[in-house]
Amino acid sequence: MGTGKIVGKIASKAVQSLAPDLAVTAAAGAANLFKNTYDKHQAYVKVPDVSGLLVEDVPPILQKAKFNFASVLAEPDKKYAEKRPNTVLRTAPHANASVPPETFIKVFYADEDVITASKALAAEASEKKAARNEAVKQLAHKVEDTAKTTTAGLAQKLNPKKLLKKKQTQPEADASDQIVDQEDINTEHNSDWETVREENLDNNNSDNI
C-alpha cells in the first residue's frame, strides 16, 4: 500500500471521529445564538406613546423606561394647524415600537410660532384646493354647455319635420316663378300686338288720305 493511501485513510478516520464533535459544536453555537437573540429581544421595551402630552410632562415617563431623549422643535406643517402649542407631536422611533433599552428618543413638539405657521400653510392649501375645485366646476359647465349646443344644432339639422317642410315648399316656389315668367311673356306678346295694330291704323289712314 502506498504512502498516499495510508495518509488518506488516516485523515478519513480522523474526520469521521471529529464529525460528531463538530456537529455538536455547531448545534450548541446555534442554540447559544438563538438564546442570546431571544434574551436580547426579551429585554426590548416599547416606546411610550406621549403624543399630545405637554413637553414638560414627558421626561419622567422616558426616564422611567431608561431612555435617552431630547426635545426637538418640529418644522411647520399644515397637519399641525390644529395642535396645541408646546405639546408632543410624535417621537422617533415611533410610539409602541420595540427597541433596546437606553435607545435615544427624539421628542418632536410645536410651539406657538410653529402652530401659527402651520395654520397659514393649512389656509393656503385650502385656498388652492377651493380654486382647483372651482376651475374643475367651470370646466364641467363649459363642456356641458358645448355639448348641449352641439346636440341642439344636430337635432335641428336632422329634424324630419323641417326637412319635409323644406321639400314641400320648394315646388311651390318653383311654380310661383313659372307664373311670373308666364305673365312676363303674356305682357310682351300684348305689347307686340298693340304695336302691330297701331301700325295698321296708320297705314289705313294714309290710304284714305
Range with the largest mean pLDDT of 76-85, 142-151, 171-180, 190-199: 76-85
How does pLDDT run across 49-58, given as a tens digit for each residue? Answer: 999 999 999 9
Q: Determine the longest span between alpha carbons in the chain, in angstroms.
A: 181
Looking at residue 93, its pLDDT comes to 96
Contact 106, 73 (CB under 8 A): no
- Percent pLDDT > 90 in the chain is 44
Extract the C-alpha cell encoding 137.
Answer: 366646476
Task: Provide the edge-to-edge strand list for the sheet that holds 87-92.
Answer: 68-73, 104-110, 87-92
Residue 76, number of CB atoms within 10 A of its CB: 17
Query: Running DSSP on this structure, what letter comes out for residue 54?
Result: B
Confidence of residue 34 (pLDDT cuts 50, 70, 90): very low
| pTM exceeds 0.75, yes or no | no
Range with the largest mean pLDDT of 6-20, 110-124, 187-201: 110-124
